[in-house]
Structure formats: C-alpha cells, structure tokens
Amino acid sequence: MIVAGVDVGNATTEVALARLVPGRPPEFLSVTRGPTTGAKGTAASAVGVLDLVARASRRLGEPPARILLSDVHPVDTGLRELSADEEQDLGGVGIARPVSATPSGVGAAAGQLVDLAAMDGDPPPVAVIPIVPEMDFDAAAACLNDARSRGWDVVAIIVTGDDGVLIGNRVDRSLPIVDEVADAADLPRGAWAAVEVAPVGSTVRQLADPLRLAVLLALDPARARGARNAARALVGHRAGIAVRREASAATTERAAARQARLQDGGQILVDVDTTPPGIGQIVAVDGIEARLDDAFWTPLPAAADDARLALRLHRRRAVGLAVLARREDRALEDALAAASDAEVVVVAAETAAAVAGASTTPGAGRAPIVIDMGGGTVDLHVELGGETRAIAAAGAGLLVDRICGAVLGVDPLRAEQAKRLSSVHVETPFILRHEDGARTFLEQPAPSRTVAHLCVADRRDGSLDPLATDLSPELWARLRRAAKRDVIAANLRRAIVAVGGLPPGELAVLVGGCAEDQEVVDEVALALVDLDLAIAAGDILGRHGPRAAVAVGLVLLHAEAS
Amino acid sequence: MSPPAVVLATDDAAVIRLVRAAFEEEGVPLRVAAPADARTAAVQSPLGIGIGPHGDGLAVALATGPSDPYVIGDDPRMLGRIAARLAARRPLGDLP
C-alpha cells in the first residue's frame, strides 16, 4: 500500500510517499515539496497538497491509498510592516537626496529657488539658487554667467541632468552644485532652500545638523526642533537639498504606538521603538483582526559600530511584526477527503511526527528536541521523560525576507534570494570582491548593469542580480546575519523560555527550510551556546537534508501503528 | 609611458565634444586618437577601455576578454559617461 505523509507549512508543503508492507519498515519512494497554496490549514492549501501527491504518484504509476496528516491546529501567521520614513513628519522641511555621483564645489548655501529661464530680468534683493533643466551645459553656463554679470547673487545651483561639474567648471568651481536631481521639476519655485555638497569621501554636515539647517532655512527656534527628522534623513549623504515649506497643520510627531490587548485583559502600548520584542501573551494588536496567540516584532538591523550608517538605516523605521493565530477548524482535512479517493488519516500530533522524522538523521538515535525553523514560525518540539511540549513562535523565514527587503529596498521575492545567497561587489567587468574581501577573476566580463554594484550572486548559474543599495558586501553580510539572529535565534530563545528550558547535553536537531541556511544554523548555535546543547542540522532519512521531517515522521508512526 | 586615459578613436567633432563633456563631468582623462574600432582604441588605452564608431553609433570596448563591444549605443554623451565610469569603477547609470 502506498501512503503519503503530508506537512503543510506557511511557505512550503512537503509530501513523503512510501510503500508499506506489514512487518517491514516503510520503503520511502520520494520526498517532494512545493509552495503552499493559500493559508496553511485552509481548504485552499489542499490544492497544493493534491497537486504534489498527484505529481509524485504519476511518476510512481500508483496513487496513495492513504493521506497522512498530523493533528495540528492551523496557525495563521501574518506580517505587518509598521512605519516607514515617508510617513515621518519632517517638520515643514522638504528634502531631496540627489544622486549626484559627481557634484561640483564644496559647502552649504541658502537662497531662493529660481528657474534658470526666469533669470533674464532684474536681480532680486536676495541670494538665489537657480534650477537648471535638461539642456546643453554650454548654454546653461552662458545663461548663468550672464545673470551673474547683471548682479544676480547665485550661491548654489541645482542641475537636473548629470552636468554639475561641467557647469561648475564654466561658472564658478567654488559654488556648491548638485546634479542628477530627477525631481527638480517638483521643487517649489520661489521657496527658500539650502544646498550642501560635502568634500569627496565625506557627507553633509550643515544640513544634517537640525540647528544649522534651521539657521540656513531661517526657521524660528520652535520649528528648528521639528527639523530634526529632515536633518536625520540627510545624514550619510554626500549632497542634499532642503526646502522650507509652510508648516503643515497638526501632523503627528511620530508613528502612533499600537495598542495591544493581553491575555489577562490588560492593555499595553506596543511602541515598536521602545517595547522589547516578544512580550508574549499578546492576544490582539490594534488594527489586526484576529485573536492572537503570539506577536513578535523587530526593528531593522543596524551597524552598532558605525553611527553614520546606523542613522541612515534608522531613518527607515520599518519594523517587521509577525502574528500568529490558532484556528479550531478542520478545513484542510475536509477538503482533502472531499477531493481525493485516498483515505485521510490523522496519524499523530505534529511534535511526535517531527521527533520521529528528525530521528532518521544518521547518528541521531532518537532526537527528543526538534527545532523546526520554517517560513512563518519557529516551532520547538520536545519529547523528554514522557512529557511532550510544543511551542510555535511567530516570526521566521518570511519575516527575515521582509527585513532583508527593507534594508535593500527590493521586493520580497528578490529579498528571499538575497537572504539565501551570498553577495559580491563587481569591481571591474572582470573582478568580483566577495563578502570576506577575497577577489576572484571572471573569464567573461560581468554585464554592464552590474558594474560597481552590490549583486546577489547565484553560484549555480553564475548570475548576478544588481541591487541599488551602496552597501558593501562585507557590510550587507553582517546586516543579513543580524536579521537572521534578530528573528530566528531570538525567537527560538523565546520558545525555549516558554517550554521551561532544555536539559544540557541533550541533542537538538534543526529542521525546516531555514535549517538549510548555514548562516541560520551558525546564528542559532551561537545564540544557544550557553545552554550546552548538541545542536545538529537534520538530514532526514540520511538524504533529504533538514526537509520533510514531519512528512516522513507521519509515515513512520503510521507504519508502526498499523 | 603614456598617462592613464581612455581612448576615443574618431574624428567626428560633435562626438568628440559630447564624449569629452562626459569625461570632464566624471573627472576621468580622455585621449582622442585616429579613427578605429572600439577594440583597437581599447588596446591603445593604458586603462584598457576604448570608444570607437560602431555602425551608425558608438561602442565601448574592453582591451581584454571577448572582442565584441562591451556596450553599444547611439548617444555619445551616454557612451562617454559609461566608459568614464567604467574607468573610475563607478556604477554606470542608465544604459542604452
């Protein structure tokens, strides 16, 4: 008889097919996996299960007589991205961070924004900052020189195209000139503005200081304090533009704290900046429609030893929030039974299945502690001294994807690749610099769009995915590992506290998709080093790596029982 | 010994003006040489980067590796910027 052990995770569904012959150990025929369709445990997730079972049994030429499930309450996990910098109140100061790979001049100056085309008349009594549209650099320089000869007090220049140095060389090399200002057309003509260009290798100082920024923009002391977010937003940039806007009415000072309801009926404010993650026992968070079993949030990783970079990352205050809600229905079971000829059998609790599956790792003997690091949750399964404990903690691989995406500014799909794969900096078309500083030579030149970019490198096909960020591979690798530590290792710690600790010297087997990532395994081992556990990556049946522990375990338990 | 420079192999004055502008903007030295294809220009360049005519447009070529042009396009300012940034090891920006 053919049976199919099925494990539906938040991100991945796994199916183990085996032939059962009474009196003999099960003969495993295949282990397959595919993306989970719909939310875990719902009728929609049955579609993916049936598809995987059908594909595997087609190859086999024989459909399974039984589909084996674990007895698990479906868990809904969700991710919410909290505040981002665009929502921040900049205190009535508009900012622009021009690309300006090659600005001209050095220093900061303030003046009234004026169109180059409007400089043919008499000069105003104040200093001006002309805005040069896309046009020939010689013509632009001629216009500017002509206006200056007629008394216009030009203190800085904003250039739409990539002509900053060309115009500086033809007008005045000492003037701060920012270029590649794509949204120059949106700058409010007539408004008072400040422009700063830092020396090469350095970053803006005046615009990054709220008081100097306020003085440049002639803000009164009360508004100077409100300019701090604008100043912070320019930290770490070589060139910047700040524009005084009329104070907006009653904008919020910061993203409002969220109200969370606790299990005992109490209420707390979940202020993502100040509340430590993982208080547990949160049953509801304001704005999220579900009864929660767990909530976990973490800010973006920062570089603690680099204040400038830490500030730059801080301005994106996106915070990942993972929530977990338990449901009581049997939707998956019912949907599978309705759509398949196979008998659907609930074999055992998920913990028993995970332990049985993980125990097939060569050399393990019996694996009483299984740490399942999946997409939505980190699950800790313990079967020790006749006692069974299981904890699902919200926040795992998918939350790491979101955090990586927020750091790099890419969508979750590319972020998932960036999380898994290592990165390189393409120094020249022929030279790659790796995360440890090592350099390798290419036989074929790298594509032009990758040159001088941080790229996600796929070793299997040698492809390079260029990222817009200016992070170095060395730094990105640190932030990426920090994200894994902050989410998966921290969450596991929480789960261990919740089960009342683990006995030293015992074996803990890591399974689940995240256990395929050596960086996660390393971070987990480091985070648990004080517990003195034997931490090993699972290798299910000695050939499937850390995948499919539950699916294989279900088959084993079912064979034992029948 | 010749000073480090990218070589532009053309006698088209309009092209020379725009490519020169791109190199001035990037702060990278450029030498103009007699008309030749981009690969020949690259081989002449101590930096191993050359610009030359390619069909109706221009090509940027590297002195080593495959002899095909590295980037081809018809905007002299853009091709100049790409060659200059290649030499300066800066991200190339918009590509044709």
CA distance A208 to A223: 15
Query: Which of A124, A160, A125, A122 is closest to A140 using CA atoms?
Result: A160
Give the mean pLDDT of chain B. Answer: 95
Residues of B in contact with A453 (CB under 8 A): 91
CA distance A432 to A463: 12
CA dist A409 to A135, A424, A466, B10, Å? 31, 17, 12, 41
Cβ–Cβ gap B27/A448 under 8 Å: no
Residues of B in contact with A428 (CB under 8 A): 86, 89
Query: Which of A542, A560, A395, A540 is closest to A15 using CA atoms?
Result: A540
- Taking the Cβ of residue B68 and every Cβ of chain A, the question of whether any pair is shorter than 8 Å is answered with no
Residues of A in contact with B21 (CB under 8 A): 137, 163, 166
Q: Which of A137, A169, A449 sits opposite B95 (nearest CB)?
A: A449
- Taking the Cβ of residue B38 and every Cβ of chain A, the question of whether any pair is shorter than 8 Å is answered with no
Using the structure block, give the residue that is written with the tokens 């294809």: B37
Looking at residue A289, its pLDDT comes to: 55
- Taking the Cβ of residue B82 and every Cβ of chain A, the question of whether any pair is shorter than 8 Å is answered with yes
Cβ–Cβ gap A430/B65 under 8 Å: yes
Query: Which of A133, A523, A71 is closest to A301 using CA atoms?
Result: A523
Cβ–Cβ gap A452/B90 under 8 Å: yes
The helix/strand/coil state of A322 is strand
Cβ–Cβ gap A451/B92 under 8 Å: yes
Q: Which of A102, A443, A452 sits opposite B89 (nearest CB)?
A: A452
Cβ–Cβ gap B90/A163 under 8 Å: no
* DSSP string for A230-283: HHHHHTT-SEEEEEE-PPPTT--SSPPPEEEEETTS-EEEE-TTTSPS----EE
CA distance A117 to A143: 8
Q: Which of A165, A429, A452 sits opposite B62 (nearest CB)?
A: A429
Q: What is the pLDDT of residues A424-461, one digit of tens each?
A: 999 999 999 999 999 999 989 999 999 999 999 998 89
CA distance A259 to A238: 39
Cβ–Cβ gap A443/B65 under 8 Å: yes
Query: Which of A63, A516, A505, A560 is closest to A353 using CA atoms?
Result: A560
Cβ–Cβ gap A429/B86 under 8 Å: yes
**ipTM above 0.85?**
yes
Q: Which of A444, A448, A452 sits opposite B65 (nearest CB)?
A: A444
Interface test with chain A among B20, B24, B25, by most A beta carbons within 10 Å: B25
Name the residue type at position A232: R
CA distance A453 to chain B (A): 6
Query: What is the number of alpha carbons within 13 Å of residue A22 lying toward its C-beta?
Result: 1
Cβ–Cβ gap A166/B21 under 8 Å: yes
Phi and psi angles of residue A523, each rounded to the nearest 5 degrees, phi first: -65, -40
CA distance B33 to chain A (A): 23
Q: Which residue does chain A place closest to B87, by CA atoms?
A: A428
Looking at residue A270, its pLDDT comes to: 56
CA distance B25 to B21: 6
Alpha carbon A220 to its chain's center: 39
Give A89's contacts (C-beta < 8 A, 6+ positions apart).
Answer: A226, A229, A248, A251, A252, A253, A254
- The 10 Å Cβ neighbour count of residue A322 is 26
Give A337's contacts (C-beta < 8 A, 6+ positions apart).
Answer: A344
Cβ–Cβ gap B81/A427 under 8 Å: no
Using the structure block, give the residue that is written with the tokens 């049994």: A57
Name the residue type at position A42: T
Looking at residue A74, its pLDDT comes to: 60
Between strands A422-428 and A454-458, the pairing is antiparallel
Cβ–Cβ < 8 Å for A440, A434: yes
Residues of B in contact with A161 (CB under 8 A): none
CA distance A159 to chain B (A): 13
Cβ–Cβ gap A429/B70 under 8 Å: yes
CA dist A6 to A49, A51, A171, A305, A353, Å? 7, 12, 72, 46, 11
Name the residue type at position A398: L
| List of long-range contacts for A411-418, beta carbons under 8 Å, 24+ apart | A414/A456, A414/A465, A417/A456, A417/A458, A417/A465, A418/A456, A418/A465, A418/A467, A418/A480
- Taking the Cβ of residue B18 and every Cβ of chain A, the question of whether any pair is shorter than 8 Å is answered with no
CA distance B78 to chain A (A): 10
**Residues facing A68 on adjacent strands:** A5, A345
CA distance A484 to A217: 42
- Taking the Cβ of residue B20 and every Cβ of chain A, the question of whether any pair is shorter than 8 Å is answered with no
Q: Which of A164, A443, A451 sits opposite B86 (nearest CB)?
A: A451
| Residue stretches of chain A with pLDDT short of 50 | 83-87, 248-256, 272-274, 276-280
CA distance B91 to chain A (A): 5
Interface of A with B (CB under 8 A): 101-102, 137, 162-166, 169, 427-430, 443-445, 448-449, 451-453
- The 10 Å Cβ neighbour count of residue B73 is 17
CA R_g for chain A:
29
* Predicted structure pTM score: 0.83
Cβ–Cβ < 8 Å for A395, A378: yes
Residues of B in contact with A449 (CB under 8 A): 92, 95
Q: Apex CA A478: angle with CA A238 and CA A314, to 5°?
A: 50
Q: Which of B24, B66, B92 sits opposite A169 (nearest CB)?
A: B24
CA distance A188 to chain B (A): 27
Interface test with chain B among A451, A453, A467, A472, by most B beta carbons within 10 Å: A451
Would you state the structure tokens that stand for residue A96, as one six-digit string? Answer: 């622009």
CA distance A275 to A257: 10
Looking at residue A458, its pLDDT comes to: 93
The helix/strand/coil state of A17 is strand
Cβ–Cβ gap B62/A445 under 8 Å: yes
SS3 sequence of chain B = CCCCCEEEECCCHHHHHHHHHHHHHHCCCEEEECCCCHHHHHHHCCCCEEEEEECCEEEEEECCCCCCCCEEECCHHHHHHHHHHHHHCCCCCCCC
| Residue stretches of chain B with pLDDT short of 50 | none
Residues of B in contact with A427 (CB under 8 A): 89
Cβ–Cβ gap B93/A137 under 8 Å: no
